[in-house]
Structure 1
Amino acid sequence: MPGPYDQQIEDLLAQYRRQRDAAAETRRRINETTATVTAPRQTVKITVGAQGEVTAVEFPTGAYRRMAPRELADVLLTTLQQARAEALRSVAGVLADGLPPGVTVPDLLQGRIDPDAVLPEDPAMPDPVRDYVDHGFQGENHE
């Protein structure tokens, strides 16, 4: 015979699983985020990932050959900063729905958050509730 809380427990577990799946999906979308910025005069084109790591540097034209080393360095740094800022904006868009408690944007952006750590497959609960979930109600009068 089903216990008085079976449906509520099932609903809570289903909600928990949806939250856990959503967290994993958010992580996947962040990991796939990239941003590419091309400098004026197409001197350089830089692509970065969600964490700001440089994944590609291209020189679409020969314009860089006519630049002084310092000028080229400045263009590279400016373009890199713009690409990182664009990637951060993209990640912020992914996070628009909100983060679970205990998760910070810096930790998430630096890949230090594992969905299993925030939303483990087996949620924490008091021993009596765990026993009820695992074995059903086994009170003195209902064995």
Structure 2
Amino acid sequence: MSSPLHDRFEQAFTEFEEQKVALSDFERKLAESSKTVTAKNRAVSVTVDGQGDLMELKFPTNAYRTMAPAELSSLLVETIREAREQARASTTEMLETYLPGGMASFDMLNNPIDFEEILGEALRTADRMFSGMPSNTDRTEESR
């Protein structure tokens, strides 16, 4: 026969294990993801990983040879920026499937993260989950 406290711990442990699996799945998918963007004039092609880090830079045609240095530089910067934006959007979309309700709309990749708010919400959730359980001080006073 199990107690309500034991059942709560079992449920919490099961949820924790499920979150570990989901996090591993997200990390694997993020590591495998990439985005490739080719400039409109096809002079340059850029590939970035799921975090937006540059992985590959190609010049599919000889068009870059006739470009002024400032023009080529500008094209590279714009193409890399576009690839990073697409990678960020893809990662955000993927992340939304793993975040608990209400956090999915929080764009963690483009805005500063308020860890205090996230921790506060986690503590409030834990409080609700374990409300009614005796605290350490309650147990100490009971044993006297």
Shorter-chain TM range is 0.5 to 0.7
Percent identity reads 33
Tell me the residue number matched to 2:74: 74
TM-score (norm 2): 0.64
Distance, in Å, in 2 between the alignment partners of 1:21 and 1:105 is 21
Find runs of 4+ consecutive structure 1 residues off by over 6 angstroms: none
Query: Could you list the runs of 5+ residues in structure 1 that have no partner in the other structure?
Result: 107-124, 129-143
Map Cα deviations across residues 57-113 of structure 1 (whole Å, 9 max, x no partner).
000000111111111111111100000001001101111125368xx835xxxxxxx
Tell me the secondary structure at the aligned position of residue 61 of structure 2: coil
What does 1:78-93 align with in structure 2 at a 5 Å threshold?
Answer: 78-93=78-93
What does 1:53-68 align with in structure 2 at a 5 Å threshold?
Answer: 53-68=53-68
Q: Work out which of the residue numbers 105, 108, 112 in structure 2 matches 1:105.
A: 108
TM-score (norm 1): 0.64
Tell me the residue number matched to 2:142: none
How many residue pairs match? The answer is 109
Tell me the residue number matched to 1:118: none
Calculate the aligned-residue CA RMSD, in Å: 2.8
Does residue 1:41 correspond to 2:28, yes or no? no
Query: Could you list the runs of 5+ residues in structure 2 that have no partner in the other structure?
Result: 110-129, 135-144
Map Cα deviations across residues 38-66 of structure 1 (whole Å, 9 max, x no partner).
00121000001122211000000001111
> Could you say which structure has the greater relative contact order, defined with CA pairs below 8 angstroms and 6 or more residues apart?
1
Distance, in Å, in 2 between the alignment partners of 1:35 and 1:26 is 17
Tell me the residue number matched to 1:4: 3
User: Given residue 108 of structure 2, which amino acid in structure 1 is its aligned partner?
Assistant: V
User: Given residue 44 of structure 2, which amino acid in structure 1 is its aligned partner?
Assistant: V
Tell me the residue number matched to 1:139: none
